[in-house]
Amino acid sequence: MSTQGEIVELTRTAEALPATDGSSQVWLDRYTHSVMQTFGTPQRVLVRGEGPYVWDADGKKYLDLLGGIATNSLGHAHPLLVAAVTAQLTTLGHVSNFFASAPQVALAERLLQVAAAPQGSSVFFANSGTEANEAAFKMARRTGRTKIVSTYGAFHGRTMGALALTAKEAYRAPFEPLPGGVEFVPYGDLGALGRAVDGATAAVFLEPLQGENGVVPAPDGYLAGAREVTADHGALLVLDEVQTGVGRTGEWFAHQNPRHDGVVPDVMTLAKGLGGGIPVGAVVAFGPANSALLGAGQHGSTFGGNPVASAAGLAVLHAIERDGLLENVRTVGAHLRAGVESLGHPLVEGVRGEGLLLGIALTAPVGPQVVQAALAAGFIVNAARPDTVRLAPPLVLTAAQADTFVAALPEILTSADRGVAP
């Protein structure tokens, strides 16, 4: 039974949070006058979520097929995640990195377990994928070499170091000069990679599947070939699994798909789905030599590995295992792909991707129009490229829920092609 003090405290908590009433337009006006316009005008103002659904300030319901860009792995307001974070906050919310906490240690151990990392491996915790890749960049510099090889179409983050690894000119140009020594090669071209990597190469950064480039999977044999090339020259193989990791493709990590021939990286970076919506990133160093690349005092993070974020990560990993979500991702992902491809719509060229990270390839550059038409119809999707619509829904999505999107897609596509809302 709640005490009077607890009731008063709950009342004060409610007073500290913003009321969610008011129309979307009212909130958008307030947004314009208070938030930096880094992301442009928001598409909607969302106020509530449950499972794979969200509601906007005007009360409209949407099936969230983007999942916070592959982040809300358990959907919205998942009971286990809510309980884990709440319970942790009632005991220990934050400690500095002068101290350890039980959730931090337990999450590191669990990540090493599901990554099948060898003895002597270790984890560094950050708050985002960008930060994880920034740490991996620093690990590469600690080899004593400075040359880095990345790929065209790659996206590794927006900080200066992570941006240096990212090939998109529109992101890079406003902030140049960026940290140097990065060379880009075509993604999926093992010959080009082999020619670029030499004895001066510190590391190769690769995504098992390029999400921001339109959901482009690595060809069969590519990651295994990259592993061989880097090993031959003593360079690190860094796999960026920020978007593809933690069950997104139907394996714990995308590089564990059997078609990648059991490749084991030197370093793996994670974030997004690991926290289920709570900010957490991680760097997994495979083996003692790679674990030793960042010594005491050579890197840090105020909030990285804090007890609340670590509790969230543990809850996500537990729910994925307990509820059989890896199998659900494989099954529902295949069902969703087959459903879209079976439509035979003239605007659909095909579907790329793995698990629940899918890209609907279009025959015309109408991706942005598809996004708007889908919103009008009650679905949240994203145009990773003008000719590609990206789907990255919560891992809890059911086949029946996916079917509602497939059923609505023909009219969405037709409306997008005409430039009108359905």
Question: Is the pLDDT at 81 greater than 90, yes or no?
Answer: yes
Structure tokens at 140: 């590469």
The pLDDT, as a whole number, for residue 41 is 82
109 and 243 part of one domain: yes
Q: Residue positions in the annotated binding site for pyridoxal 5'-phosphate?
A: 129-130, 155, 240-243, 302
DSSP 178: P
Count the neighbouring beta carbons within 10 Å of the beta carbon of residue 179. 15
First-to-final CA distance of the chain? 51
Classify the phi-psi angles of 277: left when phi > 0, otherwise alpha if psi is within -120 to 50, otherwise beta: left
Question: What is the DSSP pairing of strand 201-206 with strand 147-151?
Answer: parallel
Question: Is the pLDDT at 4 greater than 60, yes or no?
Answer: no
Count the neighbouring beta carbons within 10 Å of the beta carbon of residue 322. 9
**Single residue among 322, 342, 362 that ends a domain in this structure:** 322
Q: Is 41 exposed, middle or buried (0-12, 13-18, 19+ CB in 10 A)?
A: exposed
The C-alpha atoms of residue 306 and residue 284 are separated, in whole angstroms, by 17
Question: Is the pLDDT at 154 greater than 70, yes or no?
Answer: yes
276 and 299 part of one domain: yes
How do residues 211-251 score in pLDDT, each as one tens digit? Answer: 999 999 999 999 999 999 999 999 999 999 999 999 999 99
Is the preceding omega at residue 177 within 30 degrees of 0, hence cis? yes
268 and 394 part of one domain: no
94 and 235 part of one domain: yes
371 and 260 part of one domain: no
**Single residue among 322, 356, 380 that ends a domain in this structure:** 322
**SS3 assignment, position 237:** strand
Residue with the larger pLDDT of the pair 302 and 78: 78
Residue numbers annotated as active site: 155, 240, 272
In the predicted model, what is the mean pLDDT of residues 194-204? Answer: 97
Question: Is the pLDDT at 422 greater than 50, yes or no?
Answer: no
The pLDDT, as a whole number, for residue 232 is 97
Count the neighbouring beta carbons within 10 Å of the beta carbon of residue 50. 12
Number of domains within the chain: 2
Strand runs labelled E in 121-166: 122-126, 147-151
Give pTM, 2 decimals.
0.92
Cβ-proximal residues to 160 (8 Å cutoff; 6+ apart), any chain: 175, 178, 179
Structure tokens at 358: 């899918």
Question: Is the pLDDT at 7 greater than 60, yes or no?
Answer: no
Range of the domain at 100: 82-322
Sign of the dihedral defined by the CA atoms of residues 225, 228, 232, 236, in that order? positive
How do residues 20-64 score in pLDDT, each as one tens digit? Answer: 777 888 888 888 889 888 888 888 899 999 999 999 999 999 999
315 and 328 part of one domain: no
149 and 294 part of one domain: yes
The pLDDT, as a whole number, for residue 3 is 53
Find the radius of gyration of the CA atoms of the chain: 22
**Single residue among 297, 322, 347 that ends a domain in this structure:** 322
The number of angstroms, rounded, from the C-alpha of 126 to the middle of its chain's C-alpha atoms is 14
- Candidate from 8-22, 112-126, 364-378 with smallest mean pLDDT: 8-22
How do residues 253-287 score in pLDDT, each as one tens digit? Answer: 999 999 999 999 999 999 999 999 999 999 999 99
DSSP per position, 155-193: ---SSHHHHHT---HHHHGGGPSPPS-EEEE-TT-HHHH
The pLDDT, as a whole number, for residue 6 is 52
Residue in the structure block whose two tokens are 């004895």: 199
In the predicted model, what is the mean pLDDT of residues 76-96? Answer: 96
Confidence tier at 335 by pLDDT (50, 70, 90)? very high
Q: Residue positions in the annotated binding site for N(2)-acetyl-L-ornithine?
A: 158, 301
Question: Is the pLDDT at 300 greater than 70, yes or no?
Answer: yes
